[in-house]
Chains A and B, each alone.
Chain A
Amino acid sequence: MLSYLLFLATAEEGKKASAVTKLLSDFGIDLPLLLAQILCFSIVAILLWRFAFKPVLSTMEDRQRQIESGLRYAEETKALLAQAQQESAAIIKQAQLEGARFVEETRKTAKEFLDQQQKDATVRANELIAKALQAIELEHGKMLDQARLEVARLVVLTTQHVLAKELSDAERARYNEAATREITVI
């Protein structure tokens, strides 16, 4: 291939060889050498491209993809985290509201229970007081009855003693006549 190229260069560029050759010689460019260099460069470029740049680029592309996927994953995770945080905040808020409501209800129930207990205790105390007053009233009545009986007994006893001593026979005789009239009427 290389010889074929050289042959073509020397055969078909005969006409323009003089101007171009002069130009090339002025600039110190050796065409075969240039072509060889171009060929070598091409070969090296091809080899580098195939065995160096391509793997490196693919590796870089892979890494780039990984980085991008990592960044995407991080973004998604961040979004999920934010969403989870929002949801947890919402749940916590809801739980706080529920807890506050439950505490309020419990406090209210406890207050109602306490009020009811106080009312019941007051009612029971009033009932006890009423019963005690009734019992005291009954005892007072009993005591008065007993006192009345005792006073009556003492009055009768005293009257009997006094009459037994003070009544004269004439008065007794008159009483006996009155008793006779009373009994015979019956």
Chain B
Amino acid sequence: MQVSKQSRQFARQLFRLSLADGQISAERVNSVLIYLNQHPPRQPLAILKHYHRLVATQLAKNHASVEHAGPIADSILQTIERALTQKYQRPVTATAQPNPDLIAGLRITVGDDVYESSIPSHLAALASSV
């Protein structure tokens, strides 16, 4: 579906209204949704999809997905949260996700950035150097 320029601009405005101190606020998102329900705009589905994409992107920036294989201590997650918060200058929360394919090591995904130190990545680097 072709999203018009006005619809995209409107979705962006709604997204900016959903931020509080640079962070997505659940209350504000709820308010935006109520408003859209009460005052449905033109191309509501397209606007909602665009708004959803913007919100998800923003949430991903503040969320670090820590894929791991084997046991991981909470201290490691806290260390990662501190390091990423300092790096990105915004609060970042880390959540652990088991991934046996990593064999050992970590893969951290923050938005579009991926940090990996795992056995498969080291072996792949070794193979490419050969």
Q: Which of B73, B79, B108, B126 contacts A156 (CB 8 A)?
A: B126
Q: Classify the interface of chain B: helix, strand, loop or mixed.
A: mixed
Q: How far is the CA of A156 from the CA of B127 in the complex (A)?
A: 7
How many residues on B have C-beta within 8 angstroms of the other chain's C-beta atoms? 27
Q: How far is the CA of A156 from the CA of B79 in the complex (A)?
A: 30
Q: Which chain B residues (100-123) contact chain A, with CB distance < 8 Å?
A: 100, 103-106, 108, 115-120, 123
How many residues on A have C-beta within 8 angstroms of the other chain's C-beta atoms? 25
Q: How far is the CA of A177 from the CA of B76 in the complex (A)?
A: 7
Q: How many pairs, one residue from A and one from B, have CB atoms within 8 Å of each other in the complex?
A: 78
Once the chains bind, are B104 and A172 in contact (CB under 8 Å)?
yes
A164 on interface, CB distance cutoff 8 Å: yes
Once the chains bind, are A167 and B70 in contact (CB under 8 Å)?
yes
Comparing A82-90, A114-122, A132-140, A178-186, the segment that makes contact with chain B is A178-186
The listed residue with most A CB atoms (<10 A of its CB), out of B71, B115, B117, B120, is: B117
B124 on interface, CB distance cutoff 8 Å: yes
Known pairs A179-B118, A182-B117, A183-B106; A173 contacts B72 (CB<8 A): yes
Q: How far is the CA of A152 from the CA of B73 in the complex (A)?
A: 33
- Which residues of B sit under 8 angstroms from A182, Cβ to Cβ? 117
B1 on interface, CB distance cutoff 8 Å: no
By a beta-carbon cutoff of 8 Å, the part of chain B in contact with chain A is 68-73, 76, 79-80, 83, 100, 103-106, 108, 115-120, 123-124, 126-127, 130
Once the chains bind, are B123 and A184 in contact (CB under 8 Å)?
no
Other than A172-B103, A176-B70, A183-B116, give 15 A-B pairs with Cβ distance below 8 A: A148-B130, A155-B127, A156-B120, A156-B123, A156-B126, A160-B120, A167-B104, A171-B70, A175-B70, A176-B71, A176-B76, A179-B106, A179-B117, A182-B117, A184-B83
Q: Which of A164, A180, A184 contacts B103 (CB 8 A)?
A: A164
Distance in Å: Cβ of A163 to nearest Cβ of chain B: 5
Once the chains bind, are A175 and B105 in contact (CB under 8 Å)?
yes
Known pairs A163-B104, A175-B104, A183-B80; A169 contacts B70 (CB<8 A): yes
- Which residues of B sit under 8 angstroms from A175, Cβ to Cβ? 70, 104-105, 119
What residue of chain B has the Cβ atom nearest to residue A168's Cβ? B70
